């Protein structure tokens, strides 16, 4: 039932995003670098450096490490292509920004990969952002549901991805943000991928609603 429900949500939301992608101009570019280090078959760490936009605020730098536990052995090639199990990670992120106090964030994540049919994989990422800023504390829950499937182009295997992410913030006491993504993982080495993607974000925490169209580029590197 869970898989059918999440597929129904994606089928409803993603087609509605296509006209937006065709008509609107991309507002921002969000680069990201993730460097993974495999310590053991079930344990690893990674460092993330990215730009992000959340809660209708301006773009912030986000940097920090995480540790991850894989319930099956961590793949020796690019983690975004082969991991098909359960992953738990916890990390720290530092988010500075001009003219505002920095955010110190604790970030636990629980990620499920459900193989469906014809090599399609359903991803269910559950993430909490626990934020300390000056003397205040805020949290938000983020649930991302996505589908991916590797393609076979001779010996080359790109992986198209579509996903939807929903944000619940205690600052607004409601589901205050929705983001729709479409992108593709392009292997450039057995240990590296590039992931360009388009994101449409609809922030409803404040009135009037704010909408952002963003292009991102993620570079994944595995040691």
The kind and range of the H/E element at 65 are strand 60-70
Read off the pLDDT of each residue in 205-220 and give the average, rounded to a whole number.
Answer: 94
Structure tokens at 23: 């008509």
Q: Which pLDDT tens digit goes with each residue over 166-200?
A: 999 999 999 999 999 999 999 998 899 999 999 99
Higher pLDDT residue, 56 or 212?
212
pTM of the model: 0.82
SS3 22: helix
Q: How confident is the model at residue 14 (pLDDT cuts 50, 70, 90)?
A: very low
Q: Domain 2-222's class?
A: mainly beta
pLDDT for res 175: 97
pLDDT for res 75: 53
Is 80 exceeded by the pLDDT of residue 131? yes
Report residue 206: phi and psi, to 5°: -120, 160
Higher pLDDT residue, 200 or 12?
200
The span from the CA of 47 to the CA of 42, in Å, is: 17
User: Among residues of the chain, what percentage have pLDDT more than 70?
Assistant: 83
Q: Which pLDDT tens digit goes with each residue over 105-128?
A: 999 999 998 888 888 999 999 999
Structure tokens at 125: 């990422």
The span from the CA of 163 to the CA of 175, in Å, is: 17
Of 172, 181, 175, 171, the C-alpha closest to 212 is 181
């Amino acid at each position: 039932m869970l898989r059918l429900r999440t597929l129904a949500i994606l089928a409803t939301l993603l087609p509605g995003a296509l006209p937006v992608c065709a008509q609107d101009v991309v507002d921002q570019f969000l680069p990201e670098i993730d460097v993974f280090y495999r310590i053991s078959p079930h344990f690893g760490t990674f460092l993330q450096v990215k730009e992000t936009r959340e809660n209708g605020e301006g773009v912030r730098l986000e940097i920090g490490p995480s540790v991850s536990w894989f319930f099956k052995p961590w793949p020796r090639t690019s983690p975004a292509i082969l991991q098909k199990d359960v992953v738990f990670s916890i990390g720290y992120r530092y988010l500075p920004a001009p003219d505002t106090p920095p955010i110190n964030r604790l970030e636990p994540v629980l990620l499920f990969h459900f193989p469906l049919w014809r090599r399609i994989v359903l991803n269910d990422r559950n993430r909490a952002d626990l934020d300390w800023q000056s003397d205040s504390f805020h949290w938000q829950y983020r649930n991302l549901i996505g589908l991916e499937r590797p393609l076979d182009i001779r010996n080359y295997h790109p992986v198209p991805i579509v996903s939807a992410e929903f944000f619940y913030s205690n600052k607004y006491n409601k589901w205050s943000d929705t983001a729709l993504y479409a992108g593709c993982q392009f292997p450039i080495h057995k240990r590296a991928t590039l992931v360009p993607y388009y994101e449409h974000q609809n922030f409803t925490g404040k009135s009037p609603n704010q909408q952002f169209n963003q292009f991102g580029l993620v570079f994944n590197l595995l040691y």
